């Protein structure tokens, strides 16, 4: 994975970088030595190294069992309890899997991330006809959306298979000792996995929260973890501004923020990355957006959005900088047909693959945005696979903690989330 920066010259001086660099070095040490603000939630830092072989084997064995009896796997959770799994499953998926009759792996569906009634009704209609299993994920075990979805789906599962058989189709991922979900799992005898105390929801993708659904979907969790290990090694062993890409990324986005560019646009050129961008937005939005501070994380999928938000980005208010995820290679090829009469005048493209054309669109958009004063951070991956995604996860997690420390906010709490809950519970008469 590589990173480069364009269009920052007018915002960033060597002097500023030098000053920021020693600031970042200090925060880096706070993360590694676990003595900064929110340090009780730094379990993710060493997680890739600490994941036990036993746990990985157990998740793999369990996902094998699920695959043998489920056409659909329902993941019940919200926020950090579902976005990481969805980010990776969607990034690696065949986009049209849901329409395939023959499937080797269960189709992963999410629930408890919305209270929308039509969504739930449609899901139940499908689950009436399909064999399914479910995992309910909630660290607190008390979040309303997944709790309610779990009640509805557990009842459906029990009506469909009987209480005994339903029990074998349910897994809970939750706290090791507290919360309603933990109590219910103990009394009902569900298989459980633990989210450890020192890892918050949005940092939990490499725990069973993400690993189980990813394994059930048929992806290689060992390689994903290996990617995260590689990035961890890279970031922890390179402690200069010139060599540490998380330091560089955190510094540049901070300087953008200080210069009034308070919207970060993650730019992808693959629809498979839409959910990854959602994970990124939650990670940074929930970690940084507090005390009246923070960069607003946003995203586009191009070239689709070049025909939509592209207009605003090019010509609208100059408050955006871009973080582009460039993927070098695609895994499949499509031949562009030659037409003798060239009726659509596209024969000039024949020397390119679709990926090369997509890259040219990326380059063209980058040039146009640079011309219009939009600074760009470009993160380059060789391809979209488990190893690169593992690297990307750890890179953003580490960078996010550094970035929040630069803003002097606690990266690991989310006090603002409570406000809507308080009102909602009051309105519901709790």
Q: Using CA atoms, how far apart are residues 325 and 269, in angstroms rounded to an integer?
A: 8
DSSP single-letter state for residue 131: -
Residues in CB range of 391: below 8 A, 6 or more apart? 1, 227, 228, 230, 231, 381
Nearer to ligand PA5, 143 or 207 (CB): 143
Q: What is the smallest separation between the CB atom of 139 and ligand PA5, expressed in angstroms?
A: 4
Q: What is the smallest separation between the CB atom of 80 and ligand PA5, expressed in angstroms?
A: 3
C-beta nearest to ligand PA5: residue? 201
Q: Give CA angle at 399 (395, 401), nearest 5°.
A: 125
DSSP 313-379: HHHS-S-EEEEEEEEEE-SS--PPPP-TT-TTS-GGGTTS-HHHHHHHHHHHHHHHHHHTT--EEEE
Q: Give contact residues for ligand PA5 (rule: CB under 6 A).
A: 78-81, 138-140, 143, 146, 200-202, 286, 414
Nearer to ligand PA5, 139 or 229 (CB): 139
Q: What is the smallest separation between the CB atom of 147 and ligand PA5, expressed in angstroms?
A: 8
Catalytic residue among 100, 163, 293, 421: 421
Q: What is the smallest separation between the CB atom of 201 and ligand PA5, expressed in angstroms?
A: 2
Q: What is the smallest separation between the CB atom of 289 and ligand PA5, expressed in angstroms?
A: 12
Nearer to ligand PA5, 24 or 171 (CB): 171
Nearer to ligand PA5, 148 or 236 (CB): 148
Q: Specify whether 351 is catalytic.
A: no
Beta-strand pair 132-138/72-76: parallel
DSSP single-letter state for residue 36: S
Nearer to ligand PA5, 146 or 210 (CB): 146
Name the strand (E) or helix (H) holding 166. helix 163-167
State the sign of the Cα–Cα–Cα–Cα dihedral 199, 177, 148, 69. positive
Nearer to ligand PA5, 105 or 203 (CB): 203
Q: What is the smallest separation between the CB atom of 205 and ligand PA5, expressed in angstroms?
A: 11
Catalytic residue among 307, 317, 426, 430: 307
Catalytic residue among 62, 145, 286, 322: 286
Please enumerate, as own/partner, the contacts of 145-150 that have beta carbons within 8 Å and a separation of 24 or more: 145/78, 145/112, 145/113, 145/114, 145/115, 146/76, 146/77, 146/78, 146/81, 146/111, 146/112, 146/113, 147/112, 147/180, 147/181, 148/112, 148/115, 149/76, 149/111, 149/112, 149/120, 150/76, 150/112, 150/181
Are the C-beta atoms of residues 295 and 257 closer than 8 Å to each other? yes
Q: Specify whether 332 is catalytic.
A: no
Structure tokens given for 16: 């500023």
Q: What is the smallest separation between the CB atom of 47 and ligand PA5, expressed in angstroms?
A: 15
Q: Using CA atoms, how far apart are residues 110 and 69, in angstroms rounded to an integer?
A: 18
Q: Specify whether 95 is catalytic.
A: no
Are the C-beta atoms of residues 369 and 322 closer than 8 Å to each other? yes
The set of catalytic residues is: 286, 307, 421
């Amino acid at each position: 994975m590589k990173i480069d920066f364009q269009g920052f010259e007018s915002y960033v001086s060597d002097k500023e970088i030098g000053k920021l660099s020693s600031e970042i070095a200090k925060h880096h040490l706070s993360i590694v030595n676990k003595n900064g603000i929110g340090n009780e939630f730094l379990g993710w830092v060493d997680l890739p190294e600490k994941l036990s072989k036993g746990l990985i084997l157990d998740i793999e064995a369990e996902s094998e069992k699920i695959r043998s009896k489920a056409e659909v796997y329902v993941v019940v959770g919200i926020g950090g309890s579902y976005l990481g799994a969805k980010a990776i499953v969607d990034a690696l998926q065949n986009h049209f899997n849901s329409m395939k009759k023959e499937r080797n792996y269960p189709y992963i569906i999410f629930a408890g991330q919305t209270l929308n009634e039509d969504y739930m009704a449609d899901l139940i209609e499908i689950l009436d006809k399909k064999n399914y299993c479910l995992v309910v994920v909630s660290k607190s075990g008390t979040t309303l959306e997944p709790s309610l979805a779990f009640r509805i789906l557990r009842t459906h599962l029990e009506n469909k298979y009987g209480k005994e058989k339903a029990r074998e189709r349910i897994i809970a991922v939750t706290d090791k000792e507290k919360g309603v979900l933990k109590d219910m799992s103990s009394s009902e005898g569900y298989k459980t996995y633990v989210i450890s105390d020192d890892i918050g929801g949005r940092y939990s993708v490499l725990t069973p929260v993400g690993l189980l659904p990813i394994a059930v979907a048929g992806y290689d969790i060992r390689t994903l973890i290996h990617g995260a290990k590689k990035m961890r090694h890279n970031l922890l062993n390179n402690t200069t501004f010139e060599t540490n890409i998380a330091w560089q990324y955190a510094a540049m986005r901070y300087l953008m923020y200080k210069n009034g560019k308070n919207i970060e646009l993650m730019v992808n050129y693959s629809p498979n990355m839409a959910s990854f961008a959602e994970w990124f937005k939650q990670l940074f939005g929930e970690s940084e957006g507090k005390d009246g501070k923070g960069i607003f994380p946003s995203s586009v999928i191009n070239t689709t959005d070049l025909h939509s938000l592209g207009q605003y980005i090019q010509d609208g208010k100059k408050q955006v900088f871009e973080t582009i995820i460039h993927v070098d290679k695609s895994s499949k090829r499509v031949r562009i047909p030659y037409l003798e009469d060239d009726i659509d005048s596209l024969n000039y493209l024949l020397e390119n693959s679709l990926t090369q054309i997509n890259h040219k669109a990326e380059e063209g958009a980058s040039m146009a945005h640079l011309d219009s004063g939009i600074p760009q951070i470009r993160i380059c991956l060789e391809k979209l696979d488990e190893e690169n995604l593992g690297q990307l996860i750890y890179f953003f997690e580490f960078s996010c903690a550094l970035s929040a420390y630069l803003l002097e906010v606690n990266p690991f709490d989310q006090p603002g989330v409570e406000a809507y809950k308080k009102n909602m519970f009051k309105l519901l008469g709790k």
